Every structure is written in C-alpha cells, then in structure tokens.
Amino acid sequence: MLKDEQDAFGHAIWDYYHYRKGFEIVERDDGFFDVSSGPTTYFREYIHWDEYERKSIDYVRGNVLDIGSGAGRAALFLQRGGVDVTCLDNSPLAIEVCKLRGVRKTEVLPLTKISSKLGTFDTIVMFGNNFGLCGNHKRAEWLLKKFHSITSESGRIIAATRDPYKTMVPEHLWYHEFNKKRGRPAGQLRIRIRYQKYVTPWFDLLFLSQEEMEDLLDGSGWFVRKFIDGEGGMYTAILEKK
C-alpha cells in the first residue's frame, strides 16, 4: 500500500474527481519525463473507450478481479451489467474514489500480495497497460502462477499492454539500447509518477511485443487465445488456462 506522500496517482485521481483538475508526470530513470494523458482517462465512460478496449471487455466471464482499477471505469461498467467485480489497487485514494463512485467491492493491496484470501475469479482484468505492472520477466512468471491459483478452471486474463518497438520517438529508441547495455529487456521501463508534492517509489513497467508475450507464457499454464490490436502499439492479450 502506498503511503500518502507516495500516492501521486491517487491524489491526481482524487483531485480530478472533486475538482476536475489533475495531471501526472511520468519520470523515467534516464531523466526523460512526460505528462501523461492524465486522470481523465481513468474516468472515461464505455462509449469513449478505445475500440480495442471495448472489444476486449466482451471476453469477460463470471466474477472479475480488476487489477490496477484506478477510478473504477471498467469495474463500474461491468457492475452495471450485473457482473460481480472486485477492484484492486495499491493506491488508497484511488480505491476511495472507486467507492465514492459506487464500486461495491474493493481492496487496497499491492499486486504482489494477491492471494486466495481474495477468493476465486473467472476473469482478471488488467486494463490501461496494467499487465506491465508485472514489472519484469521473473516476477511476471511468478505472478502468472499466482493468477493461476486464484482463478477457476476456465480462468481468463484480459492483459492490456504495449509493444515497445512500435515507436519512432528517438528518446524511446535510445532507451531500448540503454536497457540492452545494462542487461535489461528493451521494453522494461523504470519509472515513477509525480503529482504536485507527491511522488511514487520507482517501479518497473514491462512492455512486450506479442511474440515476447507468447514466449513469456511458455510453461506458465496460460496461452494466448487472441490478440486484439489498438493504436500506437497498444494491444490486449486474451489469456486462458491450458
């Protein structure tokens, strides 16, 4: 769980919910920084979602664990459709906003603390690049085993991420080479989020090509049923148990 001074993400969401203002600065460990699309993204209604997300949500079945739920946009959409869904985030303020917006089931918990105590789920939703929260290959393999243990026999993961190689931005291409020189995968980012005086700890975000995704799943007990492509390298992998 993030401490209040670390909860830049949550404070941005809180301010957007209450005052319709807020932003996020994404800082990378090579000194590069940018302003993200901001908390408005986390409040989008279904009609304003990207097309690949609208197609992806159709693969939800049974009860759902929404990992990295933000302001609860996916959970609220599913809940309105009668789906039993639990929001999970390590940001206390983000979860508080989920509650204020009407999400009935919530948990403030880091991704690595997921266990069978949460229950058994038929679908895990990881929208908004959230499969990248697995961080690195070793931790992703470990988490995939955890996900296997908390899902039903027909378990499914809706894993949204980005192909890091679909870019022509010089700073990103340089970072790929920077990563390779220090023995890291090209698409493994080390970042932190800033908002006003709040700063998250540094964390890794793992971006994968579709081929790398399939390689990662080898021996995990999961396979790709379908890839759903978005724009700018974004895509969703619909994962199912073997």
Three-state secondary structure call for residue 126 = strand
Question: Residue 59 pLDDT more than 90?
Answer: yes
Query: At 1, is the pLDDT very low, low, confident or very high (cuts 50, 70, 90)?
Result: confident
One DSSP character per residue, 132-197 reads GGG-SHHHHHHHHHHHHHTEEEEEEEEEEEE-TTS---HHHHHHHHHHHHTT--TTEEEEEEEETT
- Altogether, the residues listed in the chain come to a count of 242
Q: What whole-number distance in Å separates Cα of residue 87 and Cα of residue 64?
A: 9
Q: What is the mean pLDDT of residues 68-84?
A: 97
List domains and CATH numbers for the chain.
49-192+205-241 (3.40.50.150)
Residues 237, 159 contacting (CB under 8 angstroms): yes
Question: Which of 160, 210, 155 is CA-nearest to residue 57?
Answer: 160
Q: How far is CA 107 from CA 92, 99, 210, in A?
A: 9, 10, 30
Residues 38, 203 contacting (CB under 8 angstroms): no
Q: What is the mean pLDDT of residues 220-237?
A: 97
Question: Residue 22 pLDDT more than 90?
Answer: no
Helix, strand and coil in the chain, % to nearest 5: 40, 30, 35
Q: What whole-number distance in Å separates Cα of residue 135 and Cα of residue 80?
A: 32
CA dihedral (140, 169, 125, 80) in degrees, to 10, reads: 170
Question: Which of 41, 218, 201 is CA-nearest to residue 130?
Answer: 41
Q: How far is CA 40 from CA 20, 123, 190, in A?
A: 8, 25, 24
Question: Residue 82 pLDDT more than 90?
Answer: yes
Q: What whole-number distance in Å separates Cα of residue 39 and Cα of residue 70?
A: 9
Q: What's the whole-number average pLDDT of the chain? A: 96
Question: Residue 141 pLDDT more than 90?
Answer: yes
